[in-house]
Structure 1
Amino acid sequence: MSFTLRASLLCAMACMVACSDSKIETNLLPDDDVVVAKVNGEAISAYDWQQAIVTNLGEQNAFLLDDDARLKVLQSLAAAKAMAQKERDALTPTERLELEKQIEAYREQLLVKRYLKAHTDITPVTSEMVEAYYQKYPERFGATRTVEYQLIRLRSGADGEKRNTLVSALQKAATPAEWSALTSNARKANSPFEYIQQKSVPNLLQAPLSSIVANTAKGSISEVYWVEGLPLRVRVIDEQWSAAKPLADVSAEIRKTLAPSQVKKAVKQATDDILKESKIEYLVETP
């Protein structure tokens, strides 16, 4: 968004909010009683002017503007006020009501931001949280998981009741003992099951086997998956991890990743607290 447009929008919003609550004592603001320009008789104060500069450049850079640049901001505010006046006068009664609703919604957003700033206690990301995240997701920091897995898949050819029986046997192998019995059966000559045992990096396998193996924890048996019309299951019997990047090298990245969740927790707590002390009545059906 251009500098001029942002300044224009700021002025328009300021004008709308001012019109929506005329009871606010604006002359309590610094230099708000100092008029620096008038547009069709409506004043732009020194406070409005300075706020437009600060909003666009920030507190630190606001004082770096020379007189020419400050004048351009004032000219942008004047143009914005002229546009706002013209559009305001052209509004139908319905459009005016819609605008008032939008102003009220924007006002509430500002109040909510102020409330959360004053009432949220954001817990910093701790070293323990960083360590736990690092250990939970080593692959995100350069570690590679190599697994040894067993795969049992029903061969094509069986049909009818025999096929149903074999599929049921594959589905029921839920414990290590049941899986072991099934693998013994699959290893036999002329078995209706195909048996594979090998080591691999999961993402080097063909899809969808790659995701099946990747999502199966060490010692676990996957659910039954149907691939190209045939059911299969996988059991990961061992895994090894190559070294990830040192924790010291990635801790800043992890903290940046975890920070938003800490903010969400603080906002949720503030929300829960305010709801406990508020009387809310819903006059429509809620789930």
Structure 2
Amino acid sequence: MPRVEWTLGCLLAAALLAGCRDDDGADALAQVPVEPSATLVTVDDSPITRAQLELTVERTLGESAPLFANDEVERKILDSLVASRAMALLAERELDAGERAQLDLKAQAYREELLVRHYLEQHATPEPVTSEQVADYYQRHPEEFGGGVEKSFEIIASDQALEEPQRAELIALLSGAEAKGRDWQKQVAAWRAAGKPLEYRSNRIKPELLEQPLRGLVESTEAGSIAPLYADGQLLLVRVTGEERLPARPLSEVSGEIREKLAPQALKQAVKSLSEEATRQVKVQYSSR
């Protein structure tokens, strides 16, 4: 039950730091030896030691403990531990056998979690990210560092949902010779003046930044080519007018970013290797095998 008591102890400590003075607690702190195992107070014969008090002070005040942990603060935190222990003892008396077993499982799991964390801190030493790994990542992911392809394209699109007769009319219009002319913007202006529900747009962007289905259409269309698309009630005609391969930022500029990306992978691999090694050092027997 340590996790429950520690958490509740910290909460109670925060609440009691502004509380009234308890002379019994002050006397206990003044008279009891400073050894960690020394008992400061008992609650129904359950001892609270100086080591438990010091741990709660550290957990409550964190890095500020050396600055603020005076006798008055320690006394109030001791009061909180007494209240916490009293509630824990009363709660334990109310548990039935099933609840007690479940609590024991949780306490065991938390203890194991702390032990695993300690073991990893002592033994998990990830290999440093090498320059070769950085260079390899840089070569395999140029798009992350400003590289990739940028395309310029024009679009003629319907500006409203199309009914079947209107859709067939516009498909015929955009399949004709006029749609193959050089100046799409001028041509669309003429069509709009004639009442056709069409609009003109142009863009220059990396295709992967577009949303589907336009992204797939632009990616698959070569410079100088025209491709049609009808999706979600909208008619599109796309002409790719240019394509440029962008230079990536130099490796020297992005190597730090790459190392930050690869560091968690190195730690994950170190933990995996350590897990395998730990399993080999103990006897493992599955009951079903």
TM-score by length of 1: 0.56
The letter for the 1-side match of 2:101 is: L
CA distance 1:130–1:88, shift in 2 (3 Å) = same
In structure 2, what residue type is equivalent to 1:279?
Answer: V
| 1:244 corresponds to which of 246, 249, 263 | 249
RMSD: 5.1
Show the counterpart of 1:279.
Answer: 284
Structure 2 unaligned segments of length 5 or more: list them.
13-33, 154-166, 169-176, 178-201, 223-228, 236-241
Contact 1:49 1:74 in 2 (8 A): yes
Report the CA distance between 1:131 and its aligned residue: 3.7
- 1:6 paired residue number: 7
Q: 1:54 aligns with which of 47, 54, 58?
A: 58
Contact map agreement 1:146 1:199 (CA 8 A) in 2: no
What SS does structure 2 have at the residue aligned with 1:32? coil
Give the 5 Å matches for 1:2-151.
6=7, 8=9, 31-58=35-62, 61-64=64-67, 65-141=69-145, 143=146, 145-147=148-150
Q: Cα offset for 1:83?
A: 1.3
1:259 is matched with which residue? 263
By how many angstroms is 1:99 displaced?
A: 0.9
Q: How big is the shift at 1:139?
A: 4.2
Q: How does 1:133-282 map to 2 (within 5 A)?
A: 133-141=137-145, 143=146, 145-147=148-150, 200-203=204-207, 206-209=210-213, 211-212=215-216, 239-244=244-249, 247-248=252-253, 250-277=254-281, 278-281=283-286
CA distance in 2, matches of 1:122, 1:214: 43
| Identity across the alignment (%) | 30
Structure 1 position 10, deviation (Å): 9.6
1:9 deviates by: 6.3
CA distance in 2, matches of 1:108, 1:99: 14
Q: 1:132 to 1:79 in 2, by over 3 A?
A: farther
Distance 1:96 1:137, change over 3 A: same
Partners of 1:97 and 1:116 lie apart in 2 by 29
Matched-pair contact (CA < 8 Å) for 1:31–1:45: no
Distance 1:109 1:238, change over 3 A: same
SS in 2 for 1:96: helix
Native 8 Å contact 2:151 2:207 kept in 1: no
In structure 1, C-alpha distance between the alignment counterparts of 2:217 and 2:70, rounded to whole Å: 64
- Count residues with an aligned counterpart: 223
- Report the CA distance between 1:45 and its aligned residue: 0.7
CA offsets, 1:117-153, max 9 Å, x none? 3332311223333344344444444x26334599xxx
Q: CA deviation at 1:262?
A: 1.2
Once the 2 structures are TM-superposed, how far is the Cα of residue 106 of structure 1 from its aligned partner?
A: 1.4
- Partners of 1:215 and 1:52 in 2: CA distance: 60
SS of structure 1 residue aligned to 2:125: coil
TM-score between the two structures when normalised by the length of structure 2: 0.56
Larger radius of gyration: 2
Code of the residue aligned with 1:119 in structure 2: it is H
Runs of 4+ with deviation above 4 angstroms: 203-206, 213-216, 225-230
Looking at structure 2, the residues matched to 283 and 56 of structure 1 have their Cα atoms a distance apart, in angstroms, of 46
CA distance in 2, matches of 1:211, 1:81: 63
